[in-house]
Structure 1
Amino acid sequence: METTAAKASKRENLVILVLQVLMLVIFFVLWEVVSRNKWIDPLFIGHPSKIFEYLYEAMFVDHKLFKEAGWTLWSTAAAFVLGSLGGMLFGLLFVVYPPLEKFLEPLFSAMNSLPRIALAPLFLLWFGLGPASKIALGFSLTFFIVLNSTVAGARSVDSDWVTLSRMLGASKATIFFKVTLVSAVPTIFSGLRLGLIYALLGVIGGEIIASQHGLGQLLSYLAGTFDTNGVFGVLFFLALLGVALTKCMSLLESYLLRWK
């Protein structure tokens, strides 16, 4: 039987959801009025009705968005997996062997300071127009985010836990895998969640600059042909895609951290 607090929480969530939907409806209605009356040139802001019409056709008629999203998601997944594995590996190595961090810190700091979008032409020269150049760009963004979160998480472990483990006779390996690493998991997941979004942003950015497939390439084409409604449609689709990816990562985090 639900408690009074649980019922109150459900009512509050329902009210918030209704207000959010109402706010969106009002926003789109005002946008449509402004566009129809040409208070702002529709070339710059489009028509919400035509934007949703484009979304419907591109998703459920010719399936263009889903086809291009397949290319983008494949590159994003590859960039995220490679960047995350590399970031966690180097992060844990830095924690276990600090001299390695001191040795590589100037190089990594310089690389992390570079604007990634400026590297896109170089990646295109090295890897071509295919997915590899987009994966490289997404990797360069994800790697450092996960690296920093891994180091921060591993070094934020409660010193009392480590001391108690040593007093109980735990070996260094046991302390690392069962105390340090386990304690770092929540912080690492925060970096992974952010790294996933940045992997998507890196891939989209690479596709916008030069690509044969992908949502970024479609976005660039629509902008080049002054199809404002199509541009907004793809942007809305990307926003939904980003929210879905973040939600999936949060659900995975909740499942893996259910012991907390």
Structure 2
Amino acid sequence: MVKDFKIVHESEIDGTPDAVFFAATEGNSGWLWPSPGGLEKTVGGAGPMGSTVTAWDPPHHYASRMEGPNGFYNELEFEISQRPGGKSWLRYVHSGVLFGDWEKQYDGAAKHSAFYIHTLGQYVKYFAGKQAGFADVQGPAASSSPEAFEAVKAALGIHGAGAGGHVSVAIAGLGTVDAVVDYLDPNFVGLRTEDAMYRFFGRNAFGAVVGMTVHLFADGADAEAAGTEVAGAAWSAWLNKLFA
């Protein structure tokens, strides 16, 4: 089945409109994933991942749209307004078309959107304006089982900490990661340290494997590909050992 979808997520962000606009346009590596090729800062210009910029009004409005065969399109829109106390209100709209099991895909996309926008808020509050060293890590096939994400939470020590708590995880090759649990629900976990964010995705609930992303904000991290590769490899080994 082919069907359009629209996901709207609104939230207050602890940061200025300028900081939120930067996150949405040039700071993607800090909360989502890098956008190779840069961004043309004008309507009609080239946007991320082959998209086209459809709105450009800094720091209040940005949108991009990607199109493809068979009626495919994917559009992201950020509307940002100022709030008192150096804060902002963000209205995020993700719309497009889904193929196949629409309800399951929509559920997954909506839950991912909430997690991504929360992560954007963490980025703006704690790491605004920084580029990140980024690694995308996928678990082995065994991490697609129904109970896989609960095993990840247990290995991280989440059940004893809960949202807002602290965890310490020993990662071979990295040492001990001491982190705040900044997000926790049945499908996602967010960990934040003084110079990094780690995002865990229970995509086993949506027919895929468990995954995670690494966002490193240490000085020069965006340029230190070797350090990012080490972190990604270390977490990949941790996941593989967990599901061996």
**TM-score, normalised by the number of residues in structure 1:** 0.23
**TM-score, normalised by the number of residues in structure 2:** 0.24
Hey, which of these two has a bigger chunk of helix by percent? 1
Hey, which of these two has a bigger chunk of strand by percent? 2
Larger radius of gyration: 1
